[in-house]
């Protein structure tokens, strides 16, 4: 039986259930070991664990000194994560379960970097603002926040100019297994970025600069970047290739 036989792209409410099933399916690992019943709090706590920063929306960060976090529980054949506990994932990376709609459980100036790939569009604007203020708070002087998210300008430019991006994006999602091929209608392909995948608010450069300014970053501390280019190579290298065609990359640098 075709696994997509009951898939209806034109019914966002029923597809939300399928999307949740997909998300749960990727939240797994082979081995999950509790490290501590408490989380690192101060900068020294992070250093004692060999950690320098936080990657949000990551079950297993690719950064060797990163703490991965996600709102969804990570599971292994024997265990499942619980908020407030620090875990080692597959013997390699640290992870904890966090809800970004709540204050971060870390001290002021406790980390050197924060990274979030395709996270901010999944929460309402007030939640995004609160989370960004928390990121500003926990960053140390000269710390860097790198955000990547679908670029509204990229979608709307393609809609107007017919440059082929929308069709390419449609084919890419199908190849990755995110459901059967979407309808080819341009209006549908614009609407899907707002309606599907749990998206709540879509950004362009101006909107990102606005929310970062509201979070406490000065205009001169915010800069537009390119894929895998930024102030620190090891942070920019966390960008994943399969999202690069639709993504805007922005860094905010906390000077003091």
- Per residue in 80-89, pLDDT (tens digit) is 999 999 999 9
CB 190 within 8 A of CB 136: no
Burial class (CB in 10 A: 0-12, 13-18, 19+), 61: buried
The DSSP bridge partners found for residue 86 are 36
How high is the mean pLDDT of the chain? Answer: 93
Residue 147 has pLDDT above 50, yes or no: yes
Tens of pLDDT, residues 114-142 = 999 999 999 999 999 999 999 999 999 99
**pLDDT tens-digit profile of 219-248?**
999 999 999 999 999 999 999 998 999 999
> DSSP character for 243?
G
For residue 41, give the nearest of 109, 112, 136, 107 by alpha carbon: 107
Give the pLDDT score at 22: 66
Q: How far is CA 185 from CA 61, 102, 182, 189, 194, in A?
A: 36, 39, 9, 6, 15
Q: Answer yes or no: are the C-beta atoms of 193 and 150 closer than 8 Å.
A: yes
In terms of average pLDDT, the best of 20-24, 151-155, 176-180 is 151-155
Buried b (16+ CB within 10 A) or exposed e, 214-233: ebebeeebbeebeeeebeee
The per-residue pLDDT for 16 is 76
- Over 60: is that where the pLDDT of 1 sits? no
- For the chain, give the percent of residues with pLDDT over 70: 97
Instruction: Of 146-155, 192-201, 218-227, give the lowest mean pLDDT range.
Output: 192-201
pLDDT 10s digits, 22-55:
666 678 999 999 998 899 999 999 999 999 999 9
Which pLDDT belongs to residue 11? 84
pLDDT reading at 98 higher than 90: yes
25 Cβ neighbours under 8 A, 6+ residues apart:
none
* Alpha-carbon span 51 to 41, nearest angstrom: 11
> Which are the contacts of 67, defined by CB distance < 8 A and separation ≥ 6?
40, 46, 51, 53, 54, 55, 61, 94, 95, 96
Q: What is the DSSP letter of 21?
A: H
Pairing mode of beta strands 53-56, 247-253: unpaired
């Amino acid at each position: 039986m075709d696994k997509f036989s009951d898939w209806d792209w034109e019914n966002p409410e029923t597809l939300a259930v399928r999307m949740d099933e997909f998300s749960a399916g990727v939240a797994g690992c082979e081995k999950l070991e509790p490290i501590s019943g408490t989380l690192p709090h101060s900068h020294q706590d992070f250093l004692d664990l060999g950690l320098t920063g936080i990657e949000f929306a990551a079950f297993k960060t690719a950064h060797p000194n990163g703490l991965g976090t996600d709102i969804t529980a990570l599971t292994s054949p024997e265990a499942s994560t619980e908020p407030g506990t620090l875990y080692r994932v597959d013997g390699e990376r640290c992870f904890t379960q966090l809800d970004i709609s709540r204050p971060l459980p870390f001290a002021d100036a406790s980390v050197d970097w924060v990274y979030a790939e395709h996270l901010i569009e999944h929460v309402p604007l007030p939640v995004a603002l609160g989370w960004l203020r928390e990121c500003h708070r926990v960053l140390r002087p000269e710390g860097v926040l790198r955000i990547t998210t679908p670029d509204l300008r990229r979608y709307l430019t393609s809609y107007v100019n017919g440059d082929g991006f929308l069709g390419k994006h449609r084919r890419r999602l199908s190849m990755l297994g995110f459901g059967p091929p979407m309808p080819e209608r341009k209006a549908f392909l614009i609407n899907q970025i707002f309606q599907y995948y749990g998206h709540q608010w879509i950004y362009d450069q101006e909107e990102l600069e606005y929310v970062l300014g509201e979070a406490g970053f000065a205009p001169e501390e915010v800069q537009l970047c390119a894929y895998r280019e930024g102030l620190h190579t090891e942070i920019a290298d966390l960008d994943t290739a399969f999202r690069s065609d639709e993504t805007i990359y922005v860094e905010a640098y906390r000077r003091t």
